[in-house]
Amino acid sequence: MRKINMILAGALFLCTVEVQATDVINQDNKAYTIKVQGEGNLSISNHKVGPNGSVYGLCGYSFCSFEINGHKINAEKDAKLKIQNGKFVK
State pLDDT tens for residues 1-22: 666 555 655 555 444 444 578 9
State pLDDT tens for residues 60-69: 888 899 999 9
- Long-range contacts: 80-85, Cβ < 8 Å, 24+? 80/22, 80/23, 80/25, 81/22, 81/23, 81/24, 81/25, 82/24, 82/25, 82/26, 82/27, 83/24, 83/25, 83/26, 83/27, 83/28, 83/32, 83/49, 84/27, 84/28, 85/28
Which domains are assigned to the chain? 19-89 (2.60.40.180)
pTM above 0.85, yes or no: no
pLDDT of 80 over the 60 cut: yes
